[in-house]
Amino acid sequence: MTPILFDPAKDDVGTLVALHQQCFPDPWNAAGLAVLLAGQGVFAFFTAHGFVLARATGGEAEILTLAVALEARGRGLGRALLQSAARQAALLGAQSIFLEVGTDNPAALALYAGLGFARVGQRKGYYGGPDGTSDAWVLKAGLPLPPGGKFA
Ligand SMILES: CC(C)(COP(=O)(O)OP(=O)(O)OC[C@H]1O[C@@H](n2cnc3c(N)ncnc32)[C@H](O)[C@@H]1OP(=O)(O)O)[C@@H](O)C(=O)NCCC(=O)NCCS
């Protein structure tokens, strides 16, 4: 299923909340997600099984979250969502795209590496949880995304 651009006026933010709950230990609620979606340059693409939320302002874009339901993983949806967001960000004038990813998240790291993201920074203790904190890498790619690529 091709990701479609989320329209806050007609699409149900509850769909995104349910997907976020399946994917993250500290999920966003509907009110928080609605506030994010109302922000300048913020947009989302979604299907019934996953979504990406991103922001494009001032020539740069940022992936705010990416979530694919457990039962739909490994079929290319994460990559398709990311590519949809990257294309939209480029349309909005972004020349580069950033994101944070847990250093202990091999699936996401492999996805981003395959799309040409390179490491540009590290945030110590970025993710918090009941079992302690974990670090994040800051990754960056130029837009448009190349068809492949590896960490620099
Ligand atoms: C990370 C996530 C979005 C990937 O979604 P997905 O739809 O399963 O990914 P895709 O099927 O599009 O995979 C694209 C590439 O990612 C990599 N990848 C995906 N899952 C992987 C896994 N379990 N192990 C290793 N590499 C993996 C592969 O390189 C894959 O390319 P290939 O299929 O050609 O080998 C999904 O696992 C998820 O929602 N995880 C929980 C939330 C999360 O971590 N979000 C990212 C936060 S930064």
* pLDDT per residue as tens digits for the range 42-98: 999 999 999 999 999 999 999 999 999 999 999 999 999 999 999 999 999 999 999
Query: Is 150 part of a structural domain of the chain?
Result: no
Residue 149 has pLDDT above 70, yes or no: no
Dig out the tokens for 152 from the structure. 């620099």
CA-wise closest residue to 41 among 96, 92, 97 = 92
Q: Domain count of the chain?
A: 1
Helices and strands (DSSP H and E) totals, the chain: 4, 7
Query: Is 106 part of a structural domain of the chain?
Result: yes
Query: Is 152 part of a structural domain of the chain?
Result: no
Q: Among the residues of 70-147, which ranges form H helices?
A: 77-91, 106-114
Residue 148 has pLDDT above 90, yes or no: no
pLDDT one-digit tens code per residue, 92-129? 999 999 999 999 999 999 999 999 999 999 999 999 87
As to burial, measured by CB atoms within 10 angstroms (0-12 exposed, 13-18 middle, 19+ buried), residue 34 is: middle
Residue 14 has pLDDT above 90, yes or no: yes
pTM, to two decimals: 0.95
Mean of the pLDDT values across residues 137-142? 98
Best mutation site among 70, 82, 99, 111 for ligand 1, i.e. most ligand atoms within 8 A of its Cβ?
111
Rounded CA-CA distance 123/121 in Å is: 7
Measured between alpha carbons, how far is residue 30 from residues 15, 16, 21, 74, 149 in Å? 9, 8, 11, 27, 36
Atom of ligand 1 nearest to the CA of 113: 29
pLDDT of residue 85: 97
For residue 40, what are the domain limits?
4-142
Mean of the pLDDT values across residues 8-29? 96
> Of 19-23, 29-33, 52-56, 131-135, which gets the smallest average pLDDT?
131-135
How many beta carbons lie within 10 A of that of residue 98, not counting itself? 17
What lies within 8 Å, CB to CB, of 85 at 6+ separation is 43, 45, 52, 54, 61, 63, 97
Query: Is 147 part of a structural domain of the chain?
Result: no
Written as one letter, the residue type at 134 is: S
Q: Is the CB of 111 under 6 A from ligand 1?
A: yes
* 44 CA → ligand 1 middle, Å: 18
Q: Is the CB of 138 under 6 A from ligand 1?
A: no
Query: Is 149 part of a structural domain of the chain?
Result: no
Question: CATH number, domain at 128?
Answer: 3.40.630.30
* 19 CA → ligand 1 middle, Å: 15
Q: What angle do CA 116, 118, 122 make, to 5 degrees?
A: 150
Query: Is 108 part of a structural domain of the chain?
Result: yes
Query: Is 94 part of a structural domain of the chain?
Result: yes
Residue nearest atom 16 in ligand 1 by C-alpha distance: 111
Query: Is 46 part of a structural domain of the chain?
Result: yes
Residue 151 has pLDDT above 50, yes or no: no
The answer to whether residues 44 and 12 touch, using CB atoms and an 8 Å cutoff, is no
Residue 150 has pLDDT above 50, yes or no: no
